[in-house]
Structure 1
Amino acid sequence: MNQFDLWGEQMRVDPLPTLAQMRAEAPIVRLFNPHQEAPEWRVTRYADVVELLRDPRFSKDKRKLSEQARSRYFRVTEFDRLDKHMLYADPPEHSRMRALVAKAFTPRRISQLRPLIAEATASLLDLAERQDSVDLLDTLAFRLPITVLVELIGVPIEDQERFREWTRILIAPPSEGNFDALRRMAIEFQQYLEEFIALRRRHPRDDLTSALIEAQTHGDRLSSVELMSMVFLLIAAGFETTGNLIGNGVWALLRHPAQLRRLRDTPELIEPTIEEVLRYCPPVANSTGAFPLTDVEFRGTVIPAEELVVASLLSAHHDDERFPEPDRFDITRTPNQHLGFGHGLHFCLGSSLAKLEAQVAIGTLVQRFPALGFAADPDTLRWKIGVFVHGLECLPVTWEAR
């Protein structure tokens, strides 16, 4: 039986007390994941999380696991052609893929998106303002990143609802109840991407997909499967992560009116505000899993070979040994060495784009609507229970003071 319930209702209401108890009593603990019906280790203290994320003894590559371990943790084999990207690779394959993707994912390409982000934010808020109250996740937080991804990657705007549905299925905890849905989604997504990439090969444009097709370093290119996996990762991760970042940021500001007023009075604080959102309520709660290929002694604990190990980023961000008063939301916090986009080899290449979108969206929102507030009791809001994500199920807001 689990000592800590990471999959129960309390985690949907407020996960911080459970994580604080874990840091104090069992900072490296073996649990049983009821959704996957398999053991899972959680690492919760900041120093331990940093060490885990840079420890080369833990592998991201499932191809290095035994057949027994793969069947235990990767039961939906239809994803085999969608997970050959750098997030699930070790060096030297990871280094090769990251170098190729970085050539296409340039700061110049990202900076050129700022006018589009500003225009899309204004248009989405124009539509939302016509209603007395809205779910901000549906009207802004998730519609903005898909608009940007359409421009960045080159996929058609009319396919955005398909991406939302596929991503919704993807982030749900894997269990017997949704394995069939995951299999269908993987097949449909793969077929879609194969057709889309074939189109871009025939008709290249000034978009990231075309750049990935052409990118090469010292004669290396992404293979067809790696290319498809990378586009899949950009859509799935870029959409959900950025949407949660925007939603979590608005939620945190509304929960802390003094900080909201401070940001409204001093708009240039938007950059440190987003950094504090990434620490206080990060859009990604946990790292992707890693596996020791042999028994490993880690920080005084022996972790058996081929058992899943996950770093709790949300817990690490509330570790008082690293952050003074960690449960206080402070948009001027400095230093603020959060792990919101990971650490080490797998630090997120899309971090600058996600932060830019959040800065524009939240900065515009708080200046345009001085009476912005919750349209429902904030204590009734629930967090999603997903494999990696940390975001609200809905965020009802109103433009009028209540």
Structure 2
Amino acid sequence: MTAPRIAPAPPEPLKYPFNDEAGLAIDPAYARARARTGLTRVQLPFGGPTWLVTRYEDVKLVLSDTRFSRQGALGPDEPRILAYVHRPDTLLNLDPPDHTRLRRVVARAFSQRRMERLRPQIETIATGLLDDLARHGGPVDVFEAVFRSMPTMVVCELLGADYADHTRFHRWGVIMGSTEGSEYTAEDIRRADAELREYLAALAERKREHPGEDLMTVLVQAEEGETPLTQADVVGLAWSVLLAGIGTTTNMMANAAYLLLTNPEHTRVLRADPESVDRAVEEMLRYTPFTVGSLFPRVALVDIELGGTLVRAGETVLPSLMSANRDETVFADADRLDFTREQNPHLAFSHGIHHCLGSQLARAQLQVMLRFLFERFPGLHLVAPDELPWRRGVTLRGPGALLVDW
């Protein structure tokens, strides 16, 4: 057997993220990294240097192999884009057995049956928001009027939170999602985190006294179940659902709408065949970068050869989902948005034990909103597309507003 080819590390790590330009184009540096033998050494704004993993099969390996630990990478030296230091009390940051114990509880709230029950509510929410949009008339910012509101309403319904608090949810999410060069200080981030956790602890207390049919009730009732949760577990899990469920889905909707509004040939496909929306959503999930770079490194627990590089125990690796989704060895003509793509095993919702529990909920919202939006407003178009503002200083990548008319 031929020994694996071990590529030497570059003398200096590359600055990462590779760019912070407006738009949704992926930096060519990812394609160059996939083409070269070995991994790419990079330096993020915070923490130490790390190995960037860009090829599809290598990314899947990191996400599913127990020789890599997510929890072990946590701490002030964790390579990260965010100024916020991740805590070991959310599903995204845990390894088994703690991850297994918590995921088992939360999975009940995201069961197929519960998601099917939520879909009519999602359709009702979408219809109401689009009714409001029609009454308002254009031009209007559909990002603010619809895409920001819908995921918030859905998550509030799921979690049992009060939608009247939505402005606070958005403010906390923006502050904790801030990156280097944003207007927020480390103290702002710490305070926002503390305020959100205090809010969720109070919500948990209300659900103990007045249970409902929502996720927070499921969590607090699990405090005395077969696999009891602590108060910190309850708050940490709700924290993950609220922030990921609102900010990420809002951004997915905005990016998908932007793609459709700037690619009329794809919009015509959806209008001609509304049933094709499911496949279109999957392709946009694959094609679209939702963050400015990769967010969740792992640490190697043993020496391991990965993609032509020997990663030593204790070194971290950073799997890039957006790069894996453009791997030409898996996706033919990977840089083309193709709604007729038959095989689409994308990693937009990650892979392995950290595959997103809310993926079906996010899909349902995207499918419903995009179908309803373009059916209801066949003449929908961007106003002054060249002046579109793009988000800056946050991890989520996409437009900050979408001014439309019809």
- TM-score, normalised to structure 1's length? 0.89
Contact residue 133 and residue 396 of structure 1 kept, 8 A: no
Aligned equivalent of 1:397: 403
Residue in structure 2 matched with residue 24 of structure 1 by the alignment: 35
Q: Measured at CA, do residues 78 and 311 of structure 1 come closer, stay the same or move farther in structure 2, by a change above 3 Å? A: closer
Q: Is 1:371–2:376 an aligned residue pair?
A: no
Q: Would you say 1:58 and 2:68 are equivalent positions? A: yes
Residue identity (%): 32
> What residue is the counterpart of 1:9 in the other structure?
20
Q: Which residue of 2 aligns with 1:102?
A: 107
CA RMSD of aligned residues (A): 2.7
What residue number does 2:9 align with?
Answer: none
3-state DSSP of counterpart to 1:31:
strand
Query: Using the alignment, how far apart are the partners of 2:22 and 2:32 within structure 1?
Result: 13
In 2, are the aligned partners of 1:30 and 1:40 still within 8 Å (CA)? yes
**Aligned 1:72-221 pairs, distance under 5 A:** 72-73=77-78, 83-129=88-134, 130-173=136-179, 178-215=185-222, 219-221=226-228
Distance 1:305 1:375, change over 3 A: farther
CA distance in 2: counterparts of 1:236 and 1:211, whole angstroms: 18
Partners of 1:91 and 1:24 in 2: CA distance: 34
Aligned 1:251-400 pairs, distance under 5 A:
251-283=258-290, 286=294, 288-378=296-386, 382=390, 384=392, 386-387=394-395, 389=396, 391-400=397-406
Separation (CA, whole Å) in 2 of partners of 1:4 and 1:71: 19
Instruction: Judge which range, 69-78 or 52-61, deviates more.
Output: 69-78
Is the partner of 1:314 in helix, strand or coil?
helix
Q: TM-score, normalised by structure 2?
A: 0.88
Matched residues in 2 for 1:326 and 1:385: separation?
28
CA contact (8 A) 1:79 1:186 kept: no
CA distance in structure 1 between the aligned counterparts of 2:90 and 2:34, rounded to whole angstroms: 32
Question: Cα deviation per residue 1:86-120 (whole Å; 9 max; x = unaligned)?
Answer: 22111122112111111232222222222221222
Whether the 8 Å contact between 2:76 and 2:85 is mirrored in structure 1 is no
Decide whether the 8 Å contact of 1:276 with 1:331 is kept in 2: yes
| Cα displacement (A) at 1:4 | 5.3
Q: What is the deviation of 1:181?
A: 1.4
In 1, Cα distance between equivalents of 2:225 and 2:384: 56
- Show CA shifts across 1:302-325 (max 9, x none): 234444422111111111111011
What is the CA deviation profile of residues 261-293 of structure 1, one whole-angstrom value per residue up to 9, with x for unaligned ones? 011110111111111111011535635221123
Count of residues paired in the alignment: 391
Distance 1:307 1:184, change over 3 A: farther
Separation in structure 1 between the aligned mates of residue 193 and residue 34 of structure 2, nearest angstrom = 36
Structure 1 pair 398/61, CA: closer, same or farther in 2 (3 Å)? same
1:3-34 Cα offsets, whole Å, 9 max, x none, are 3552543476633423223222466211111x
How far residue 217 of structure 1 moved from its aligned partner, in angstroms, is 10
- AA matched with 2:242: I
Gapped regions of structure 2 (runs ≥ 5) = 1-11
> Any gaps of 5 or more consecutive residues in structure 1?
none
- Maintained 8 Å contact 1:27/1:45: no
Give the match's secondary structure for 1:101: helix
Equivalent residues of 2:50, 2:79 under 8 A apart: no
Mapped partners of 2:203, 2:255: distance in 1:
32
* Residue identity matched to 1:154: G
AA in 2 matched with 1:272: R
Compared CA separation, residues 105 and 380, structure 1 to 2 (3 A): closer
